[in-house]
Amino acid sequence: MGARGFLAAFDAETGKELWKTYTVPAPGEPGSETWPAGGDHYKRGGASIWITGTYDPETHLTFWGTGNGGPWFGDQRPGDNLFTSSVVAFNAGTGQIKGHFQYHPNDSWDWDEVSPPLIVDYRRDGRTVKGLVNVARNGYLWQLERTGGKINFVAGQPYVRQNVFKGLDPRTGRPDVDETRKPGTGKTAEFCPSLWGGKNWPPAAYSPQTRMLYIPANDNLCTQLTGEAPKYVQGERFMGVAKNVLKMVAGADHIGELQAWNLDTGKKVWTTNMPSFNWGPVLATGGGLLFAGGTNDRMFRAFDARTGKVLWEFPTGSGVAGVPVSFQVDGKQYVAVQSGWGVDPAKMQTRMNLIFPGQYPDVPQGGAVWVFAVK
């Protein structure tokens, strides 16, 4: 939309705005040198925030993920374009930006990295790392380190098929981009994962009991994208997309997955393939269970957290793209989730039906809360 992203804080009692920090710097501010010099491009540079961030009481920092740049194609805004497609650390009291890590500079793939990183400590090389862990839309699992300011790179690796990054700088984590896989203005490129990413906004989950991270992933999808120069009109889309085609990898037998990763070893422990693509946020419980929906068969499922085995499933009235929650009343545990299908899951359903006509019929939109008692 040609927006300039920001984070703002308000007094909970009065509603008064206490501070406001933009995620695209103005000329002269730190990071402004990563944008084209001159003009007012920063006013519509993107880096919007979709998802509520996380907070670290030890450092009084709050961490937020940011979206991609505007318009979509990086050759129209040369430079790294801070603080797009990044995690940004803000001082919760003042709004001052204290640190950042950019998952990929000069985004041209619509890989908004809006998910906030999980504040999870893990073991690496014989020491405990005060971690920030993000399952990124660009198809990489990032293990970072939080400090009182700077965010340090520790490790990164693909968790789905990824053909854009040829590798990462072992010191900084900056990706080495295959330019043939980078679309631009009048330039077509095909890349994996698709613009919906290896994981989109649905949150992953971590269990301190198993020390595993659980990822609702989509593999084997790619996008063919061509850009054009858009005209900025206030209130209208400012993307510059001339052609956008979703493709499935030839010979692939599935898309959706639920994955489990051991953060101490950096290794994947198990993968459970899903019957369709997966838009299911994950809930990990102290009872050794995972709860998630996300598939177009309308099922809500319980999985064994250690093995990934499906232990239970229930057909709801729609697709489950909502975030499950668990709560207790009078000593009885319940799990609740919203069942409702729309926006990106519905759009992916439509695109898949173009690839495989008739195999992906419409899912009822729904809009109900389902509550289950845990026996």
Active site residue 169: no
Q: Which residues pair with 9 in a beta bridge?
A: 19
What DSSP character marks residue 33? G
Q: What contacts 133, CB < 8 A, 6 or more positions away?
A: 117, 118, 120, 122, 141, 142, 143, 144, 206, 213, 263
Q: Residues with Cβ < 8 Å from 273, sequence gap 6 or more? A: 254, 256, 257
Token pair 């003009």 is found at 39
Query: Which pair of structure tokens corresponds to residue 290?
Result: 């995972």
- Residue 162 CB neighbours (<10 A): 18
Q: Please state whether the peptide bond connecting residue 175 to the residue before it is cis, i.e. omega within 30 degrees of 0.
A: no
Rounded-to-integer distance, Cα 20 and Cα 168, Å: 33
Secondary-structure percent of the chain, ordered helix, strand, coil, rounded to 5: 5, 40, 50
List the catalytic residue out of 11, 40, 75, 110: 110
Active-site residue numbers? 110
